[in-house]
Chain A
């Protein structure tokens, strides 16, 4: 079977984005909590962020002309792959402490692996990201491994 991942693609393993600095606001926590239909008042009041609150916050914001035909932004950390359709694949996440309004966080994303698999629906490429969230003082707040599937 033809290999989908060449040396150029493999050379992306280990690359990292510039850290993104975000300020956590109570209103953003409340919006997220409503959208995800949280039941716990501490989330609905915005006193604390639900565990998945930062999903997507690891990527830079881009202007509308820079969005692709699928609506997705050009990802600074996704090589040019022979497959194009992107799906969420899964997450592994560990929390060191809760995230609360007023937190200023640094989010750093890097590629830790790229591999291919052949399933019943055909070829798939997995891109694995490590996302670490720290305070400005360098305290580790959250560690996430995220898989994206390209089919």
Chain B
């Protein structure tokens, strides 16, 4: 968890690899009640919607971004606000990496850049967040 006295602009959040499977994507789409076939029907996804493979849900990547922030914060702060943009589709089989860095510190309010990056090093889902550190 971050120590506000030692925190500085440019500090990196711990990175985490995400390797979704057919099973984890099934459970996620069941949990959010999403029946879109691009998340479980490979032939439909490639033949009809012209994607190269099963699509990893955009909001699932958004969730991982919130986790990058929350797991870094621990119990010593709150995620107040965040945003992200799904810029590029990611395909089942890819390993994605979540992470971020500190962009500004004002009192107990800290702004962060957050990202989901693919194996090619491209940021597929950029975002930012504002947290309040309470400790």
A4 at the interface (CB under 8 A from B): no
Please determine whether B66 and A50 come into contact, CB atoms closer than 8 angstroms: yes
A55-B32, A56-B33, A70-B36 known; A92-B67 Cβ under 8 A: no
- Nearest B residue to A64 by beta-carbon distance? B35
Residues from chain B with a CB closer than 8 A to the CB of A149 are: 86
Which residue from B28, B38, B48 sits with its C-beta under 8 Å from A35? B28
Please tell me the number of chain B residues within 8 Å of chain A, measured between CB atoms.
41
CB atoms of A32 and B79 under 8 A apart: no
Are the CB atoms of B84 and A91 closer together than 8 Å?
yes
* Inter-chain contact A92/B83, CB cutoff 8 Å: yes
Q: How far is B29's CA from A72's CA once the two chains are assembled, in angstroms?
A: 12
Question: In this assembly, does A76 line the interface, its C-beta being within 8 Å of a C-beta of chain B?
Answer: no
Nearest-neighbor residue (CB-CB) of A40 within chain B: B70
Residues of chain B lying within 8 A (CB to CB) of residue A78: none
Cβ 8 A contact of A31, one of B27, B34, B49: B27
Residues from chain A with Cβ under 8 Å of B120 in the complex: none
Given A67-B35, A70-B37, the answer on whether A89 and B86 have CB atoms closer than 8 Å is yes
Chain A residues with CB under 8 A of B48: 69-70
Cα–Cα, bound, A50→B125 (Å):
19
| B58 lies within 8 A of chain A by Cβ | yes
Give every chain B residue within 8 A of A39 (Cβ-Cβ): 67, 71
Known: A87-B58, A88-B59, A90-B58. A51 touches B85 (CB 8 A): no
Contact B59 A51 (CB under 8 A): no
Q: Which residues of B contact A55 (CB under 8 A)?
A: 32, 59, 62-63
Chain B residues near A34 (CB-CB < 8 A)? 27
Q: Mark A17-59, 1 if CB is under 8 A from B, else 0.
A: 0000000000010011011111110000000001110011100
Q: Does B60 touch A at the CB level, under 8 Å?
A: yes
Which B residues lie within 8 Å of A70 (CB)? 36-38, 44, 48-49
Is A87 within 8 A of B70, CB to CB?
no
Interface contact A88-B58, CB-CB below 8 Å? yes
Q: Which 7 A-B pairs have the closest CB atoms?
A: A88-B58, A92-B83, A90-B85, A56-B32, A35-B27, A71-B37, A71-B35
